[in-house]
Amino acid sequence: MRHINVAKTLALPAAFLAAVLPLAASAHTGVDGGMHHGFATGFLHPLTGADHLAAMVAVGLWSALTARRGTDLLWAPLAFAGMLLVGALMGLAGIQLPAVEPMIAASLLVLGLLVVTRVHLPAGVAMAVVGVFAVFHGVAHGHELASEDGAALTLAGMVGATVLLHVAGIALGWSLRHANAWLPRVAGAAVVALGATLLAQAV
């Protein structure tokens, strides 16, 4: 019975990855020139970087694993999506922040540890923690997308993909709430490992 439960638990993230990875690949290879403008560009952008994708899924995963009531599922994802947009607007405006890449790597370390330990934070603190990191993710996106046409549509696509990644993380976390404790810890440890690797490269 346990093997069946594990298979069901892993089915959702596997299906999600199967759906988005072909889109990410086409964004890199430029199969369709139209994919590089407007909404589609913004939507695919968070899916093409392991750092951004892992952070967004981790926010949803942590929220679901530690939620004590329904609203706890929303605070951190909403703060991340909102401050990501703020950061992206800053990047599009040419505003520079120090240590963007190290802060993105640090966000993975912190978020991964939050998933591993399942620490519950008050809503305001959770929003502040993920919001600060989201600004740096957003600035990086904004700088990379500054040369694109249709900034409003691009930003809309980026926020849309971010919300979907949060939802995927929430769904995964909710399915793991009563699973073997090592499953979410492995997921969190993988995010920590990615963050440590990126931080070592950035400094």
* 162-172 tens-digit pLDDT: 999 999 999 99
Residue 198: name the closest of 65, 131, 104, 74 by CA.
Answer: 104
In a domain, 105, yes or no: yes
Please state the separation of Cα 123 from the chain's center in Å: 19
Could you tell me if 158 and 107 are in contact, meaning their C-beta atoms sit under 8 angstroms apart?
A: no
Residue 13: name the closest of 60, 68, 71, 79 by CA.
Answer: 60
pLDDT of residue 37: 61
In a domain, 113, yes or no: yes
In a domain, 162, yes or no: yes
Report the C-alpha gap between 113 and 119 in whole angstroms. Answer: 9
In a domain, 161, yes or no: yes
Report the C-alpha gap between 155 and 24 in whole angstroms. Answer: 17
pLDDT of residue 151: 80
Contacts of 193 (CB under 8 A, 6+ apart): 112
pLDDT of residue 160: 95
In a domain, 68, yes or no: yes
List, for residues 55-89, the tens digit of each pLDDT value: 999 999 999 999 999 999 999 999 999 999 999 99
Domain containing 78 equals 38-202
In a domain, 20, yes or no: no
In a domain, 197, yes or no: yes
Number of domains in the chain: 1
In a domain, 30, yes or no: no
For the entire predicted model, the pTM comes to: 0.81
User: Along the chain (203 residues), what's the average pLDDT of each consecutive run of 10 residues?
Assistant: 43 45 39 57 88 96 94 96 96 93 96 96 97 97 80 90 96 88 91 95 84
